[in-house]
Amino acid sequence: MHQEIRLHGHINDDIEYFATGAARDIYQSYFYEVAGDGLRFFSPGNELVLEPEGVSHRGNGGSICEYMFGVDLPLADLAKTDVCNRLVLYGGTYQEGGHLLFTPQTDGNRSYEQIFFEGNAVRNYFFFLTGSVSGPSQEQQEGILRLLGKLLKRSTCVGEGEDAGLIDEIFGLLGHRSSFYLIKLLHKKHAIYQQTFSELYHRYKSIPDSEYERLQQLAEKLGVSRYQQERIRIDVMYKHPDNRRIVDEYKNILIECDRKGSISRLENARLTRLKTLSVRNKIPAALFYTLDEMLKNDKHVEIEEQDYLSETRQVLEGIFLQEHLIDASIDRDDMIRLLHAKRKASDNRDHTFEQILLETGKACDEKIRDGGDISLLESFSYIITYFDRYDNTAANIGQLAFMENVRLSEEMIRSLLGNKKEFDLLGEPLFEQLIFQPLFENKYLGKFGRKKITLLRQGLTAIEQGSTTVKELLASLMVVGSHEKTYGILLDHIKDRIRNFYSRYSTRAEQKELLKEIEEELRNKGLIKEPISAPLFFDVVVSIKKESVYLHNLLPKIVAERDVALREDFLENSGLDRFYVEELEREYYELNHLDLDDLYLIRKSLTD
């Protein structure tokens, strides 16, 4: 049985340390001392010094931290679903082919800023040991990797900050004469921001503006940089079970595609569905971009994508890469073709389009640097301006369509009006074709999203015609948004009430009684202030009835007989959101231990 001695203190206002020495006879050991203005931890041949500005080390050991957004993640670790920690051993360098080579040079130092920038934003560990490994430093490091590498990269104690649990796991692998030293560094201000955001996110999911403003004020008071705020927020959001399932499934599909070197139609449909789900759950797009880049998500996809890519190359090369004597000006038709190509690339998550654009910009810069006509830059800027208009418009309207609690400001509406005018100057109805038409064709557009987008489309036209104002349009959108929020609250509470208290709710009298009880409950919880709209309430009840019919009568038949037509008929005519129905299906498959791949095949049949 090993014993432990812990030392706890503060390096400065930002950094807190927790040092643990562990051995069977640790109480007879002396492993730390004050060294000038630093604190030195040591064992035979090893030392780690906590200095005012950073950490210096000598001997064996390394550092560990839980992976989070911004931490360098090798593909080998990404492909292993149980690897959750980054392990860095002193003197180790990766060679071509992924082989790890150790050098005798294990001394080094790192600033605290670097530690929390390159590693985890909240907590990072350093360690060294005596016993169980021997020989020159590189042999000791190789021994540590063989002995502890698998455990250190997979232990959940690292992310949870459970020092005692981690040491218990480690000592199960060490010799009885070994001693182990673990130093945890905690960034206090980052930890406060993380805890505050985590509480808000798990309480609200969609954090109210007032609470988010207070969060921003806290970040400013603590001095947490915008980059670290983003890392921490992404990490908290990723760890939410609903979000993690989406991101991990996206990652696993991409890993399998990367191994094969191609993306099938079924896999592309899954990726697209997960991306759409991520928008609704407000999962940061940065997580998916990182995965796409790491896994080279430019594999050949079995869809008709070559036409728009070749057309894009044709237009751009015709403009920028021909001889100076040829008229290279871009015309209206060229710009329309490029915008439609960009929309298709965006729909298919095709990064090849952006790569073509990047290569064109680089070629343009090189030509101008070598004395080319400056009009090349003007033409390229003209294209980029329209692409920026498209990106901003599609992002704002897409969020309104697929997210709850999204509010457009007057400035956003005026920006949409300006972009609509510019697009329609190229050719009416270009704005409709690029923005609204794809949304209305999206089967995942829910009923409230459809209401908001319909209202926005009509409102923009009415403002142009002078029959309404920006403020009136915003007020109308807020009403629909309020109904959407109330609908979600009612759905959760009515289902819970029926599940726990009611066996019957079919008659109008029973439903009215239920309405009174739900309204009283929501008022007591502070979730509503105004009376509940009776039509909205009864609409929720009808939806719950439809859900029950689907789960108990239709879905078992669909699964048993793979009746795709029956499923599609229900989705088209029930009025239930496809997002919601697919979540019910997933829960049904998991509850009954069915193969989710069969569900994907049923869904895929609808898109072929």
- CA 182 to CA 408: how far, in whole Å? 50
Name the band, by pLDDT with cuts 50, 70 and 90, for residue 130. very high
Kindly report, residue by residue over 473-500, the tens digit of the pLDDT.
999 999 999 999 999 999 988 888 877 7
Mean pLDDT over the full length of the chain:
87
The β-bridge relationship of strands 62-66 and 123-130 is antiparallel
In percent, the amount of the chain with pLDDT more than 70 equals 92
| Residues 401 and 412 sit within 8 Å (Cβ to Cβ) | no
Kindly report, residue by residue over 169-196, the tens digit of the pLDDT.
999 999 888 999 999 999 999 999 999 9
**pLDDT value, residue 191:** 97
- Higher pLDDT, residue 199 or 97: 199
| pLDDT exceeds cutoff 90 at 110 | yes
CA distances from 83 to 65, 256, 411, 515 (A): 12, 17, 45, 49
CA distances from 331 to 315, 526, 550 (A): 10, 58, 53
CB atoms within 10 A of CB 428: 11
- CA 54 to CA 114: how far, in whole Å? 9
What is the mean pLDDT of the segment spanning 210-234? 93
| Residues 550 and 574 sit within 8 Å (Cβ to Cβ) | yes
**pLDDT value, residue 608:** 46
**pTM (predicted TM-score):** 0.63
| pLDDT exceeds cutoff 60 at 167 | yes
Report the range of poorest mean pLDDT among 30-34, 246-250, 293-297, 484-488: 293-297
The distance between the two most distant Cα atoms of the chain, rounded to a whole number of Å, is: 86
3-state secondary structure at position 503: coil
> Terminal CA-to-CA distance of the chain, rounded, Å?
62
Kindly report, residue by residue over 402-445, the tens digit of the pLDDT.
888 888 999 999 999 999 999 999 988 999 999 999 999 988 89
